[in-house]
Amino acid sequence: MRRDLALRGALVGLAGGIAGLGVGLLLREPGAPWVYSSIAVAVVATLAGYLALRRPAAALRAVVEAAGRIADGELAERVPDQPGPAGELTSAFNAMAGRVEELFESVAAEEARLEAVFDASTDAMVALRADTRVSFLNPAAVGLFGGTMVEAIGRPLIETARDYELDALVRRVIADPARGATEVVTFGPGRTPLRAAALPIREGGDWAVLLMLTDLTDVQRVDQVRRDFVSNVSHELRTPLASIRALAETMEGGVDAEEQPEFLQRIRQQVERLTTLVNELLDLSRIESGAITLQPERVELEELVAEAASLLRARAEPLGVTIVDDGSAQAVEADRASLLRVVSNLLDNAIKYSPRGGTVRVSAADEGPLVALSVKDDGPGIKEQNLERVFERFYKDDPARAEPGVGLGLAIVKHLVRAHGGTATVESRPGAGATFTVRLPRQFVGRRREP
């Protein structure tokens, strides 16, 4: 193109020279001087035209070549600046190329941020075309549907998700893109509860609908825990209140003088049961809310276990249950009163579920920066599906065989251990007893009591 433009300039100059020669021949009689002069003028005009357009032609050629490289993805490509009128062309092109590069970088950064958000989301997200084919899905969606991302891209949603409810939801939104739609569906062989939200994407290119799937398993579980809590609190309050009312009504009807102390003792026992329930609920609420502060000190676990066993001897001896320390010679920095309550609650739980003549074993192990304290019983054990619930408030593995008690002991254990920066776990299987283990940092990391 550069050569064509320069040649065109030369031809323009040559045409001008020839025109001058023709005019000279018409106005003058033929003669060598005029002919030679006209030819010289034509040659000079041709050369001047070529030279005049050579630089713009070079600039134009450079711009064309640079534009091609930019189109191939070399966004940093620029052309050399040129003097004169050609410089306006190269400067304008370089400014345009810089702006194009900035726009591409901005779009790439936005796409990277969007992809990072999608990838980090625990909710499954699927972008769908107007024909319900999958354009994009995040790792959570891949895990939910199974298969791989490569297999899912380009396939219809019904083939990827294998769920007619989701497919029907998306098709409704595609048919009426003015508004989205939300439903709760049960997905897959495990009937996982999902909140499915299909949202239309306006001006989204080949993205017509965004489908978001939220697993409601934990939400439903928390709701069930709440209902169980309300039910259990109501039951635990109703039972002693009903006993107190019955005893009071009996005394109002008249009882022998020798029977009155027994009735009063039974009323006092029920009042103490209510008081224990209320106090433990208040304690648990304070621990959960972080209102409790701790006073750490060096605690010898061997001494603490012996003290807790002594406090529970009156409960264990009538059942013939023996508490054995298999080696707890470890020390931690912790709030002594709180840790004593943890150990006492674990021992009390083990005694409660141990058979007559059973044995409760306590041990402590050095785990580097942690100390693991374990309490093992030889009771009926816990079903696998219930292991994760044993530390919930009022939860009982088998209500039909449950021993009397408030049902907050293990919940208090879990939250007191968490306040120390530790963890509480359980291992068990039906018929083989249960082992409860608390792991505490050797150095205190919780919240200290203000001096």
For 263-302, give one letter per residue: b (16+ CB within 10 A) or e: eeeebeebeebbeebeebeebbeebbeeebebebeebebb
pLDDT of residue 36: 53
pLDDT of residue 10: 45
pLDDT of residue 23: 46
User: By C-alpha distance, which of 328, 367, 332 is closest to 346?
Assistant: 328
Listing from the earlier edge strand, what are the strands of the sheet with 322-325? Answer: 322-325, 359-367, 370-377, 434-441, 423-428
Rounded to an integer, what distance in angstroms lies between the CA atom of residue 440 and that of residue 428?
A: 21
Rounded to an integer, what distance in angstroms lies between the CA atom of residue 362 and that of residue 359?
A: 10
pLDDT band at 451 (very low <50, low <70, confident <90, very high): very low
- Residue appearing with tokens 């006073």: 295
4: phi > 0 → left, psi -120 to 50 → alpha, else beta; which? Answer: alpha
Q: Please name the fold of domain 221-289.
A: Helix Hairpins (1.10.287)
pLDDT of residue 423: 92
| Contact yes or no for 420/335 (Cβ under 8 A) | yes
Between 271 and 39, name the one with better pLDDT. 271
Domains 121-215 and 221-289 share a fold: no
Q: Which residues pair with 184 in a beta bridge?
A: 195
Tell me the per-residue pLDDT of 415-429, one tens digit each, with 9 for 90 and over: 899 888 899 999 988
Q: What is the mean pLDDT of the chain?
A: 78
Q: What are φ and ψ of residue 15, in 5° steps?
A: -60, -40
pTM reported for the whole predicted model: 0.52
- Helix and strand totals (H; E) in the chain: 13, 12
pLDDT band at 6 (very low <50, low <70, confident <90, very high): very low
Q: Please name the fold of domain 121-215.
A: Beta-Lactamase (3.30.450)
- Cα angle for residues 451, 294, 449 (degrees, 5° grid): 20
Residue 24: is it exposed, middle or buried by C-beta count within 10 angstroms (0-12/13-18/19+)?
middle
Number of residues that this document lists for the chain: 451
Rounded to an integer, what distance in angstroms lies between the CA atom of residue 441 and that of residue 423?
A: 9
User: By C-alpha distance, which of 405, 399, 308 is closest to 360?
Assistant: 308
Highest mean pLDDT among 238-247, 324-333, 370-379: 370-379
Rounded to an integer, what distance in angstroms lies between the CA atom of residue 76 and that of residue 332?
A: 62
pLDDT of residue 33: 57
pLDDT of residue 441: 92
Residue ranges of the domains in the chain?
A: 2-108, 121-215, 221-289, 296-441
Q: Please name the fold of domain 296-441.
A: Heat Shock Protein 90 (3.30.565)
Rounded to an integer, what distance in angstroms lies between the CA atom of residue 24 and that of residue 34?
A: 7
For 45-78, give one letter per residue: b (16+ CB within 10 A) or e: bbebbbeebbbbbbbbbbbeebeeebeeeebebb
| Contact yes or no for 440/301 (Cβ under 8 A) | no
The residue-averaged pLDDT of 71-79 equals 76
DSSP string, 223-268: HHHHHHHHHHHHHHHHHHHHHHHHHHHHHHH---TTTHHHHHHHHH
pLDDT of residue 375: 92
Tell me the per-residue pLDDT of 265-295, one tens digit each, with 9 for 90 and over: 888 888 887 887 787 778 777 777 776 778 8
